[in-house]
């Protein structure tokens, strides 16, 4: 394992699809001299002390579904990551499982969010979490873990937290046209019609917006990653 490795935990059985879903976070890691290693939680994972950063991606599963064979081992591994003090970012499911690891609670959300939704950063977090719309796709939500600090919120509730070197977000900074297309591989046309019915979102139009906004979306993802990697920002 090289010292410039960034471990990316993806939750797709298809490892290739998991690499695609790393989206602009993988690009931002490479731009910072880090090599993304995209793996599934059931793979042979490296010692957390040997990697420079850890990113935990989303999942169609729930972070409280302990019937998942890989969830318990992933939680145990992430506890080791926390103990090692490795800079860590969890997005959506990733933020939720990190909340659990840190003593928080994950449960079904009374306010699910789909599409671009406004998020308000708090305090110094405004220097690396942009105010405004971020991509969302979640039906569960996390609580603020004991000892953690709230970084962002909106009307639906907590949107980001930090404790030590761990940052969890409910939104998806990594979204790209390719990663969204990979998400859609597991959807049916009926499920997309349900999204339009329940949230007023046309999935084709959303895909076009993601593609058209590629540059600003990638830039805000990179700023967020800078905040995670820079311990001074997390302590401010």
How does pLDDT run across 169-213, given as a tens digit for each residue? 999 999 999 999 999 998 999 999 999 999 999 999 999 999 999
Of 94, 97, 40, which Cα lies nearest the Cα of 64?
A: 97
Q: What are phi and psi of 34, to 5 degrees?
A: -105, 145
172 is catalytic: yes
For the chain, the average pLDDT equals 95
CA distances from 212 to 22, 119, 148, 200 (A): 19, 20, 35, 20
Of 173, 172, 122, which Cα lies nearest the Cα of 149?
A: 122
pLDDT band at 235 (very low <50, low <70, confident <90, very high): low
Catalytic residue selected from 11, 92, 113, 221: 92
174 is catalytic: yes
Tokens of 236: 């401010």
Average pLDDT over residues 7-17: 94
Q: Supply angle C-alpha 163, 166, 170, rounded to 5.
A: 95
Count CA atoms within 13 Å of residue 126 on its CB side.
Answer: 7
Per the listing, tokens 């990733």 go with 94
Q: Where are the alpha helices (DSSP H) in the chain?
A: 15-21, 23-31, 71-84, 93-101, 177-184, 189-199, 203-212, 214-229, 231-235
| 3-state SS class at 137 | strand
141 is catalytic: no
State how far the Cα of 32 lies from the Cα of 103, in Å rounded to an integer: 31
CB 158 within 8 A of CB 141: yes
State how far the Cα of 195 lies from the Cα of 202, in Å rounded to an integer: 7
Residue 75 has pLDDT above 70, yes or no: yes
Task: Give pTM, 2 decimals.
Answer: 0.96
Residue 1 has pLDDT above 90, yes or no: no
124-183 pLDDT, tens digit each: 999 999 999 999 999 999 999 999 999 999 999 999 999 999 999 999 999 999 999 999
């Amino acid at each position: 394992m090289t010292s410039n490795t960034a471990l990316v935990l993806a939750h797709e059985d298809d490892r290739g699809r998991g690499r695609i879903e790393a989206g602009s976070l993988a690009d931002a890691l490479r731009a910072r001299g880090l090599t993304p290693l995209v793996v599934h939680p059931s793979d042979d994972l490296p010692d957390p002390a040997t990697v420079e950063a850890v990113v935990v991606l989303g999942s169609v599963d729930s972070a409280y579904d302990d019937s998942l064979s890989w969830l318990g081992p992933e939680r145990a591994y992430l506890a080791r990551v926390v103990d090692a003090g490795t800079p860590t970012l969890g997005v959506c499911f990733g933020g939720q499982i990190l909340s659990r690891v840190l003593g928080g609670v994950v449960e079904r959300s009374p306010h699910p969010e789909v599409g671009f939704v406004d998020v308000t950063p708090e305090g110094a977090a405004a220097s690396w979490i942009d105010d405004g719309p971020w991509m969302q796709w979640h039906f569960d939500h996390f609580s603020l873990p004991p000892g953690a600090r709230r970084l962002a919120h909106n009307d639906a509730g907590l949107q980001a937290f930090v404790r030590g070197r761990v940052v969890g977000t409910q939104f998806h900074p990594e979204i790209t046209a390719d990663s969204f297309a990979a998400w859609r591989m597991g959807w049916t046309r009926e499920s997309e019609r349900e999204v339009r019915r329940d949230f007023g979102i046309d999935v084709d139009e959303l895909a076009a917006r993601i593609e058209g906004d590629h540059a600003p979306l990638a830039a805000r993802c990179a700023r967020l990653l800078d905040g995670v990697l820079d311990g001074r920002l997390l302590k401010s």
